[in-house]
């Protein structure tokens, strides 16, 4: 048993549905008790220490003990080409992404990048990621294997594409189904690993492949499905050309059984009213990728409008279309997008999106993303004075949120004091 001492932040409600500042419980002198891989108590330090007098204690002083960050949409194979210059989506895929992903035919290279990726994201306080791998089964094995070695809870799947990609990244409807099913049966539910059925997006899959993956999801409704939707106007026009019989982008996925509860739709910037209403009705999740949307010039996600009507929304870096591995930087970008859209997001809303909100989008809201008894002990310890610029601003704070906001806007991996995954300290 172990007790962590510091400030604690526990969300008790959704700050988009209640007064943001009242959505969490904060203990300025708090503690979290861990037994095995599970949180067993959160509260005032004196109470927790009195309840568990024989526990080992780690004192983080005034640092903030938070749930580990949950990154709901990434492409770990793009780690080495992050921050590639000057392209919009389709040209960016052809110029940078596809050549890099072709290298994952080599299992040793996949292992190298997977380990590098997890070193980078855990250093940034992230304890759960949801990744697109490549068409190569070895890329899935590398991702899950590296996560398993660290004790992380992760999700991901083989990316499926059978057209509009280089020959080195093309599979077939049959191989997409067969490989995905074999990997699902190999990995789903092993340790802290979950498989996700993963068609890249409608333009890179034939109707036959989409139909095959829809059939696989019907056979395994216990897993999630992830894809992209309505990221850029050129992409939407391309989908209309490829699927002229469909009413809109979402209708393509609906026709092939790839829309419903458990679907994770990345980006979702330029949705029609029908698509917004339908996604809400089916209780699918939308994943906001703000650094990517600004870096590739895609547009502004309507967080306020979508939250107002009750959409399930997660937050993500979208590595490497996104320009950072850090969920702190991603929260800052979400704030900036909100400002450009006319709505200032409260610090509580931003932190919730990066933790409990993203967990909820993944249907893991009763398992991760919250400091509460019974939840997985996935924890990031945050220094709220990690740089001179942040320290001088937070020293003037009148409450927790004023102290936290400078770290959201200016923080990086220097703010991450320690990370725990499944009750074990990673660093």
Q: pLDDT per residue over 256-267, tens digit each?
A: 999 999 999 999
Query: What's the CA gap between 339 and 343, in Å, rounded?
Result: 5
Question: Measuring CA to CA, how many Å separate 21 from each of 14, 30, 370, 398, 401?
Answer: 11, 18, 16, 13, 8
The rounded mean pLDDT for the chain is 97
Q: Kindly tell me if the per-residue pLDDT of 134 is higher than 90.
A: yes
> Would you give the DSSP letter of residue 62?
E
pLDDT value at residue 72: 98
Asked whether the predicted pLDDT for residue 86 surpasses 80, the reply is no
Q: How does pLDDT run across 167-204, given as a tens digit for each residue?
A: 999 999 999 999 999 999 999 999 999 999 999 999 99
Tokens matching residue 315: 């937050």
In the predicted structure, residue 420 carries a pLDDT above the cut 90: yes
pLDDT at 87: 78
- Do 338 and 380 lie in a common domain? no
Tell me the average pLDDT across 394-423. 97
Q: In this predicted structure, what is the pLDDT of residue 94?
A: 86
Helix (H) or strand (E) holding 332: helix 327-340
What integer pLDDT is reported at residue 271 of this predicted model? 98
Q: How confident is the model at residue 93 (pLDDT cuts 50, 70, 90)?
A: confident
Give mean pLDDT, residues 361-367: 98
Torsion sign (Cα): 362, 154, 18, 330: negative
**Residue-wise pLDDT tens digits, 55-69:** 999 999 999 999 999
| 376 in the same domain as 312 | no
Cα–Cα distance, 74 to 287 (Å, whole number): 10
SS3 of 310, please? coil
Share of the chain above pLDDT 70, in %: 100
Specify the pLDDT at position 427. Answer: 83
The pLDDT of residue 91 is 87
The CB-based long-range contact list for 144-148 (8 Å cut-off, 24+ gap) reads 144/187, 144/190, 144/193, 145/111, 145/114, 146/111, 146/114, 146/115, 146/117, 146/118, 147/114, 147/118, 147/192, 147/193, 148/190, 148/191, 148/192, 148/193
- Confidence bin at 88 (pLDDT 50/70/90): confident
pLDDT at site 90: 83
Q: Which of 361, 383, 409 is the last residue of a domain?
A: 361
How high is the pLDDT of residue 173? 98
Q: How many domains does the chain have?
A: 2
Q: Tell me how far apart the alpha carbons of residues 301 and 271 are, in angstroms, rounded to a whole number.
A: 10
User: Which domain does 382 fall in, by range?
Assistant: 2-68+370-425
Are 383 and 407 in a shared domain?
yes
Whole-number Cα distances in Å, 7 to 10, 59, 69, 119, 325 = 10, 10, 17, 26, 25
Write down which residue in 343, 361, 379 finishes a domain.
Answer: 361
Whether pLDDT at 269 is above 90: yes
**Pairwise CA distance, residues 252 & 258, whole Å:** 8
Q: For residue 36, is pLDDT > 90?
A: yes
Give the percent of the chain with pLDDT over 90: 96
The answer on 411 and 346 residing in a single domain is: no
* 327 and 222, same domain (yes or no): yes
CA pair distance 28, 48, nearest whole angstrom: 14
Closest CA to 406 of 355, 359, 356, 350: 350
- Please report which helix (H) or strand (E) contains residue 109, including its range: helix 107-123
Q: What is the CATH number of the domain that holds 45?
A: 2.30.40.10
Residues 354, 379 within the same domain = no
Q: Is residue 19 domain-shared with residue 7, that is, in the same domain?
A: yes
pLDDT band at 41 (very low <50, low <70, confident <90, very high): very high
pLDDT per position as a tens digit, 313-333: 999 999 999 999 999 999 999
What DSSP line would sit under 128-153, residue for residue? EEEEE--SSHHHHHHHHHHHHHHT--
Q: Using CA atoms, how far apart are residues 173 and 386, in angstroms rounded to an integer?
A: 50
- Are both 75 and 57 inside the same structural domain? no
Read off the pLDDT of each residue in 9-32 and give the average, rounded to a whole number: 96
* CA separation for the pair 263, 249 (Å, rounded): 14
| Mean pLDDT of all residues in 73-100 | 90
Examine the domain organization and report whether 246 and 223 are in the same domain.
yes
36: number of Cβ within 10 Å: 11
Contact 156, 196 (CB under 8 A): yes
Let me know whether 141 and 268 are in one domain: yes
Which CATH number belongs to the domain containing residue 233 in this structure? 3.20.20.140
* Structural domain ending residue among the three candidates 361, 378, 413: 361
| Shared domain check, 197 and 313 | yes
Asked if 406 and 337 sit in the same domain, the reply is: no
């Amino acid at each position: 048993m172990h007790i962590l001492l510091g400030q604690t932040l526990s969300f008790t409600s959704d700050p988009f549905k209640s007064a943001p500042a009242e959505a969490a419980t904060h203990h300025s002198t708090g503690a979290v008790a861990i037994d095995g891989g599970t949180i067993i108590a959160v509260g005032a330090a004196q109470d927790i220490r009195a309840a568990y007098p024989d526990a080992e204690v780690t004192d983080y002083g005034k640092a903030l003990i938070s749930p580990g960050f949950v990154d709901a949409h990434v492409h770990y194979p793009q780690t080495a080409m992050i921050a590639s210059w000057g392209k919009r989506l389709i040209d960016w895929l052809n110029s940078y992404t596809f050549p890099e992903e072709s290298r994952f035919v080599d299992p040793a290279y996949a292992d190298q990048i997977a380990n590098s990726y997890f070193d980078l994201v855990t250093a940034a306080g992230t304890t759960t990621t949801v990744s697109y791998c490549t068409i190569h089964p070895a890329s899935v094995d590398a991702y899950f294997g590296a996560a398993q070695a660290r004790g992380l809870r992760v999700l991901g799947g083989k990316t499926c594409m059978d057209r509009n990609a280089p020959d080195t990244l093309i599979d077939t409807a049959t191989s997409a189904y067969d490989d995905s099913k074999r990997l699902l049966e190999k990995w789903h539910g092993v340790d802290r690993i979950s498989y996700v059925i993963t068609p890249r997006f409608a333009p890179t899959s034939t109707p036959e492949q989409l139909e095959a993956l829809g059939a696989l999801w019907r056979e395994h409704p216990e897993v999630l499905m992830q894809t992209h939707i309505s990221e850029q106007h050129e992409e939407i026009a391309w989908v209309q050309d490829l699927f002229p019989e469909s009413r809109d982008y979402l209708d393509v996925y609906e026709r092939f059984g790839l829309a419903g509860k458990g679907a994770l739709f990345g980006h979702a910037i330029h949705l029609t009213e029908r698509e917004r209403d339908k996604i809400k009705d089916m209780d699918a999740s939308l994943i906001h990728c703000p650094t990517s949307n600004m870096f590739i010039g895609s547009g502004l996600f309507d967080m306020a409008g979508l939250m107002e009507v009750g959409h399930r929304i997660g937050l993500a870096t979208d590595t490497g279309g996104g320009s950072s591995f850090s969920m702190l930087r991603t929260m800052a970008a979400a704030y900036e997008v909100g400002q450009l859209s006319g709505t200032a997001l409260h610090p509580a809303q931003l932190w919730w999106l990066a933790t409990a909100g993203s967990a909820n989008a993944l249907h893991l809201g009763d398992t991760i993303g919250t400091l509460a008894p019974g939840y997985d002990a996935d924890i990031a310890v945050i220094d709220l004075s990690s740089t001179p610029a942040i320290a001088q601003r937070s020293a003037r704070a009148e409450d927790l949120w004023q102290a936290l906001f400078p770290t959201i806007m200016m923080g990086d991996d220097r703010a991450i004091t320690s990370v725990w995954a499944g009750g074990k300290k990673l660093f």
